[in-house]
Amino acid sequence: MTHLDQNLAPAERVMLSAVTATPATFEALAASHRRLLHVHCYRLVGSMSDAEDLVQDTLLRAWRARDAYDPTTGDLGFRRWLYRIATNACLDFLKSASRRVVAASSSPHEVPWLQPYPDRLLDELPADEAGPDAAAAAKETIALGYLVLIQLLPPQQRAVLVLRDVLGWSAADTASALDLTVAAANSSLQRARETMARHTDSRPLAAAPSDEERAVLAAFIDAHQRGDVAASVALMSKEIRITMPPLPNCEVGIDVVAALLPKAFDRESWGEWRLVAAWANRQPAAVSYLRRPGDTQFRAFKVDVLRVRGGLVEEITTFNADLVEAFGLPQILATQETAP
C-alpha cells in the first residue's frame, strides 16, 4: 500500500469491501480519519514523530486485514476499526520501545520523548469532534500535563483509559479491542483512574484559549524580545517550573529562574531574539528565533509552551525547534517578520 496523501479529500464515503476495495479507494476512505488517528496515537505515546510512524503502520495493518472489516457497520464502524488497530499498534510499539514508566513527580523532563502538538493541526479534526463538550475534553486530554501524567501508566492501563475516558468506548468494546475480558478491562481502568487522580491538578483548564492566556502570551513575547528581566519575572508564579525535554533540566522557583534570565537575555553572549505567537496542546506557545552575534538571520531556536493560571505562567516546557514547520513557520524568519 502506498502512503496516504494527507491532502486527499474523498468525494464520497466509499464503503470498504474485501471484494471491491482497491488501494486508491481505501486510501481515500482512510485519509479522512488520518488526523484522528494521529492525535490518538500521540496521546498514547507522547511523540508526534512516533505517532506519524504509527499511523502509517496502522493503515498498512488495516489494508492487510481488510477482509476482517464488516462494511455494514458504515463509516463510524470503519473509524472504530481503525482505532482498534491503531491502539494495538501503539501497544506493540510501547512494548518494544526503550521507555520506562516515569516517576511519580511527573515532570516533562522525565519524558524525554515528549513533543508539542501544534493547535493548527488539532484544528484539522472533523467538525463533529469539535463541539463544546468535545473541545473541553480535547484540551483536558491533550494538554502537556495530561500527556506526562499518562506516562505514569503501564501501556495496557493507558490504552484502556484513553479508549474509555477519551473516546467514550464501552467496557465491552474496549475489552474486545484489546483482547481482554470485561473484568480485566474494568480493573485496568480503575487502577489507571486511581493513579491519575493521585497526581492530577484539580484546577480546571479553560476549554478554549482565553483572553487571559492571550494577554500573558503577548506580554511574555514582548518581555523576551526586549530582554526585560523584571517584566518576565512579573509574569511568573512563585512556583514557576521550567523543563526542557529531552534534557534532564528542571528549574523550579521564581528566584532560581530570575537568576538565569540575565544570561539568556544577554545580547553579547546569545544575540537578539524574535518570538512568534503559536498554540500547542491547546496552550499558549511561542516559537523563538535567535540571531546570534555575527549572524544576519534569525534562526528557529526553541518552542516554549506555557501553562497559564490566574494571569501568571506556572510552567514553561521548552522544546527544540525540530518541529517548527509543523507550526506553519519557517526555520529562518523573513526580513519583514524580524522588524522591531
| Residue 53 shares a structural domain with residue 193 | yes
Q: What is the pTM of this model?
A: 0.87
Lowest mean pLDDT among 101-105, 171-175, 207-211, 329-333: 101-105
pLDDT band at residue 201 under the 50/70/90 scheme: confident
| Under 8 Å between Cβ of 110 and 317 | no
pLDDT at 6: 34
Q: Flag whether 18 is in a domain.
A: no
Cell, residue 175: 475489552
Domain, as residue range, for 296: 211-338
Please, which residues have CB within 8 angstroms of residue 92's CB and are 6 or more apart in sequence?
A: none
| Under 8 Å between Cβ of 101 and 152 | yes
| Residue 122 shares a structural domain with residue 266 | no
Please, which residues have CB within 8 angstroms of residue 51's CB and are 6 or more apart in sequence?
A: 38, 39, 41, 42, 45
Amino acid symbol at 180: L
Lowest mean pLDDT among 101-105, 128-132, 175-179: 101-105
Q: What is the mean pLDDT of residues 38-64?
A: 94
pLDDT band at residue 28 under the 50/70/90 scheme: confident
- Pairing relation of β-strands 312-320 and 236-243? parallel
Q: Flag whether 6 is in a domain.
A: no
| Max intra-chain CA distance, the chain | 68
User: Residue 238 in 3-state DSSP?
Assistant: strand
Burial 82-91 (b: 16+ CB within 10 A, else e): bbbbbbbbbb
User: Residue 228 in 3-state DSSP?
Assistant: coil
| Residue 195 shares a structural domain with residue 223 | no
pLDDT band at residue 101 under the 50/70/90 scheme: low
- Cis geometry, peptide bond prior to residue 154 (ω within 30 degrees of 0): no
Residue 160: count of CB within 10 angstroms of its CB = 30
pLDDT band at residue 138 under the 50/70/90 scheme: confident
Q: Encode pLDDT of 33-44 as tens digits.
A: 899 999 999 999
Q: Say yes or no to pLDDT of 22 above 80.
A: no
Lowest mean pLDDT among 83-87, 208-212, 302-306: 208-212
pLDDT at 213: 94
pLDDT at 139: 81
CATH number at residue 255: 3.10.450.50
Question: Over pLDDT 90: what percentage of the chain?
Answer: 65
pLDDT at 97: 72
| Residue 45 shares a structural domain with residue 88 | yes
Q: Flag whether 204 is in a domain.
A: no
CA neighbor of 3 nearest in space, from 49, 63, 71, 43: 63
| Residue 118 shares a structural domain with residue 239 | no
Q: What is the mean pLDDT of residues 152-165?
A: 95
Q: Flag whether 314 is in a domain.
A: yes
Q: Say yes or no to pLDDT of 121 above 80.
A: yes
Q: Flag whether 15 is in a domain.
A: no
Q: Flag whether 206 is in a domain.
A: no
Residue 325: count of CB within 10 angstroms of its CB = 12
| Under 8 Å between Cβ of 299 and 332 | yes
Q: What is the mean pLDDT of residues 166-183?
A: 96
pLDDT at 20: 43
| Residue 59 shares a structural domain with residue 186 | yes
Cell, residue 276: 512568534
Lowest mean pLDDT among 10-14, 29-33, 176-180, 209-213: 10-14
What is the number of domains present in the chain? 2
Separation of CA 154 from chain center: 19
Quote the Cα angle for 228-232-233, to 5°: 120
Q: Flag whether 14 is in a domain.
A: no
Residue 178: count of CB within 10 angstroms of its CB = 18
